[in-house]
Chain A
Amino acid sequence: QKEVEQDPGPLSVPEGAIVSLNCTYSNSAFQYFMWYRQYSRKGPELLMYTYSSGNKEDGRFTAQVDKSSKYISLFIRDSQPSDSATYLCAMSLGGSGNTGKLIFGQGTTLQVKP
């Protein structure tokens, strides 16, 4: 079993839809949770960064972390064709374990159709 599970999709939605992306994980020691967006032939770009449980909002993006269920989500409101990309969840340990060793999900490919 992988430490982080993410549905690879592909996920196709019409423009304006609300998109929900999810990851589950098995290691309860994870403390930092990230969402990266990766366009084709580009590097991962940080979208959201949260510590421990809770919600974080940035524009059209909302990240949720539920440590009790070992489940994280990314919501995209009013999705745009420019949101079409692969979305990668990533997590890392806290404290002295926060070395920058990120454990990634497999990534979900999202296509937003005009």
Chain B
Amino acid sequence: DTAVSQTPKYLVTQMGNDKSIKCEQNLGHDTMYWYKQDSKKFLKIMFSYNNKELIINETVPNRFSPKSPDKAHLNLHINSLELGDSAVYFCASRKGGSPLHFGNGTRLTVT
């Protein structure tokens, strides 16, 4: 299947832990994104990588660190998790100026 796929789908962890979310796309896209959706379903961009280069870095705590090992992969590492980090994190990708394709999200719950 051609898609943007994220792992894990669900992540439950305790405050203070460090966790990673992985994203892979097999659409041949050159730009990948992380978006965060809060409990009110409001979606906001966090980061964007184009061909392994960071091009968008919104006002996000530096506990969040994205890494793109290649054009098809974008990971998100979160240090010292806080209650307020609980949200759904969506990976997305696109080619050139075309619309974004989103994955199905990683639902993070911090207890």
Contact = CB atoms under 8 A, between A and B. Distances in A.
A65 interface: no
Interface of B: 4, 31, 33, 35, 40-45, 48, 55-56, 90, 92, 94, 97, 99-105, 107
Name B's interface SS.
strand
B103 A43 contact: yes
B88 to A, nearest CB: 9
Interface residues of A, number: 22
B45 A44 contact: no
The residue among A36, A42, A104 with the most chain B CB atoms within 10 A of its own CB is A104
Contacts of B55: 99
Contacts, number: 56
A102 B42 contact: no
Contact of B90 (A41, A43, A46, A86): A43
A34 interface: yes
A60 interface: no
